[in-house]
Amino acid sequence: MSADETKDLVETVEVPPAAATSGGNGAPAGPDVFRQLLHQAVRVADMANAQAMRMALDFAKVYEREQGVRREFETQLSQMTLMEKQAGRYAEDLAEMLRTERERRHELERALEHERIANEELRRTGLQGISHLLLAATLKDRTTGEHLLRVRRYVEAITQRLGLPSGLVEEFGYSSVMHDVGKIHTPDHILQSEHHLSDEEFDVIKQHCIDGETMLGEARFFETARGIAREHHERWDGKGYPDGKKGEEISLAARIGSVADVFDALTSKRPYKEAWSAEAGIEAIEKGAGEKFDPDVVAAFVALSSEGVVERIRSEVAAGRPEPTESSAK
């Protein structure tokens, strides 16, 4: 309690007039006055105590409230610190993830580039291997490089006309030129015979399909070429050789290759025959639809012929023009 407050209390103590004097006659105060004064002094003290108590309680309340605010503030501060730390760790993790992801992407790009180079090299090696094989086969078979080039161009044009993707157009094309590589194993006297072959001799000829497939090994690059080598003398009606496969049992590349090969053989001059005209060749191919040949492949080839594509390929190969482009095969 402050001094002012105590003074206020003392001033509130009333001294009764009767108590100040004795009976109003000026005689000194008696024991009753003292008792009253004492009583009032006790009341003042009680009031002061009560006031002090109230102030102490008020102070305690304020203190408690302040402590509560402080604790709350500390809690919030520690939460914020924790969140700040978590955010920091999260940012570091994110940066690490981005770094790893970037490195992974670079690694993948490097791997893809290596694979692309390796594939390109493999393709070049494969194509070089093909040209050596073909040189040997054409020398022995007395067919010409032009025959193989025309077959390839016809195959590419038919494959494209059938709506197949450009990757297959290229694959069917380069694979078709190996259709007769197996003839390297066929004895010359049978291969170059100009008279009618006996059944035994014809059996030897048939072997070139099997030999061709074997010669082309097991590499994925020659998978289509192996199919064409093995199946290019099969017929749609199942009466071909060496396996008597029919219809779609024969690979599409071989069905296309068969039309291209037979058309070019008919329209080329050989030691034992003159060249047929393109019209006669097309007519023979049309007649073979559904028997020797896949009708859809024949229809595509006939369409190409009526659009002038077959004739253009013939004249371009004769003129020694370069490799076909997509537009020229249309």
Interface with Fe ion: number of residues (CB under 5 A) = 2
Q: Is 180 an interacting residue with respect to Fe ion (CB under 5 A)?
A: yes
Nearer residue to Fe ion within complex by CB, 132 or 220: 132
CA–CA dist 116, 118 (Å, integer):
5
Q: Is 213 an interacting residue with respect to Fe ion (CB under 5 A)?
A: no
Question: Considering only 30-38, 68-76, 175-183, 250-258, which stretch makes contact with Fe ion by CB under 5 A?
Answer: 175-183
Nearer residue to Fe ion within complex by CB, 159 or 186: 186
Question: Considering only 112-120, 154-162, 176-184, 189-197, which stretch makes contact with Fe ion by CB under 5 A?
Answer: 176-184
Helices vs strands, H then E, count in the chain = 12, 0
The nearest distance, CB 147 to Fe ion, in angstroms, is: 6
Contact 232, 209 (CB under 8 A): yes
The nearest distance, CB 135 to Fe ion, in angstroms, is: 15
The nearest distance, CB 118 to Fe ion, in angstroms, is: 32
Nearer residue to Fe ion within complex by CB, 156 or 261: 261
Q: Is 156 an interacting residue with respect to Fe ion (CB under 5 A)?
A: no
Burial 301-319 (b: 16+ CB within 10 A, else e): bbebbeeebbebbbebbee
Q: Which DSSP string corresponds to 153-192? A: HHHHHHHHHTT--HHHHHHHHHHHTTTTGGGGGS-HHHHT
Nearer residue to Fe ion within complex by CB, 159 or 258: 258
CA–CA dist 155, 76 (Å, integer):
79
Nearer residue to Fe ion within complex by CB, 180 or 234: 180
One character per residue 252-291, x = contact with Fe ion (rule: CB under 5 A): ---------x------------------------------
DSSP type of residue 265: H
Question: Considering only 130-138, 172-180, 241-249, 269-277, which stretch makes contact with Fe ion by CB under 5 A?
Answer: 172-180
The nearest distance, CB 308 to Fe ion, in angstroms, is: 24
Nearer residue to Fe ion within complex by CB, 60 or 235: 235
The nearest distance, CB 261 to Fe ion, in angstroms, is: 4
Tokens 């006790």 correspond to what residue? 42
The nearest distance, CB 301 to Fe ion, in angstroms, is: 16
DSSP type of residue 270: B
3-state secondary structure labels for all residues of 4-57: HHHHHHHHHCCCCHHHHCECCCCECCCHHHHHHHHHHHHHHHHHHHHHHHHHHH
CA–CA dist 212, 178 (Å, integer):
8
Residue 227: name the closest of 263, 157, 178, 268 by CA.
178
In the complex, the residues that contact Fe ion under the rule CB under 5 A are 180, 261
